[in-house]
Amino acid sequence: MSSRTTHTPSTTDTPDTGGAFAWYRTLGQKGKRAFVGAAGGWGLDSYDFQVLPLGLVAISAYFGISTGQAGLLTTVTLLVSALGGVIAGIMADRIGRVRTLMITVVTYAIFTVLCGFATSYETLLVFRALQGLGFGGEWAAGAILVAEYCKPRYRGRAVAFVQSSWAVGWGLAVLVYTLVFNLFPQDIAWRVLFWTGALPAVLLIYLRRSVEDAPQAAHRERAKNTFTAIFRRGTFKTTFFAALLATGVQGGYYTLATWLPTYLKKERDLTVIGTGGYLAFLISGAFIGYVTGGYVTDWLGRKKTFALFAFLSAVLIVLYTQIPEGANTVILFLGFPLGFCMSAIFSGFGSFLAELYPTALRGTGQGFTYNFGRAVGALFPALVGFMASTMGVGGAMVFGAIAYGVAVLALLGLPETRGRELA
Domain CATH number, residue 43: 1.20.1250.20
Question: Does the residue 249 lie in any domain?
Answer: yes
Question: Does the residue 107 lie in any domain?
Answer: yes
In the prediction, which pLDDT does 191 show?
A: 97
Confidence of residue 378 (pLDDT cuts 50, 70, 90): confident
pLDDT at position 7 over 50: no
Q: Is 221 exposed, middle or buried (0-12, 13-18, 19+ CB in 10 A)?
A: exposed
Q: How far apart are CA 146 and CA 150, in angstroms?
A: 7
Question: Does the residue 219 lie in any domain?
Answer: no
Question: Does the residue 330 lie in any domain?
Answer: yes
In the prediction, which pLDDT does 12 show?
A: 42
Q: In this predicted model, what pLDDT tens digit does every residue of 100-112 receive, in sequence order?
A: 988 998 898 999 9
Question: Does the residue 218 lie in any domain?
Answer: no
Q: In this predicted model, what pLDDT tens digit does every residue of 219-259 receive, in sequence order?
A: 555 556 678 888 888 889 999 999 999 999 988 888 887 77
Question: Does the residue 126 lie in any domain?
Answer: yes
Q: How far apart are CA 115 and CA 129, in angstroms?
A: 10
State the total domains in the chain.
Answer: 1
Question: Does the residue 421 lie in any domain?
Answer: no
Residues 389, 397, 242, 96: is their CA dihedral positive or negative?
A: positive
Domain that holds residue 198: 25-208+227-413
DSSP string across 117-162 = T--SHHHHHHHHHHHHHHHHHHHHHHHHHHHTTS-GGGHHHHHHHH
Question: Does the residue 18 lie in any domain?
Answer: no
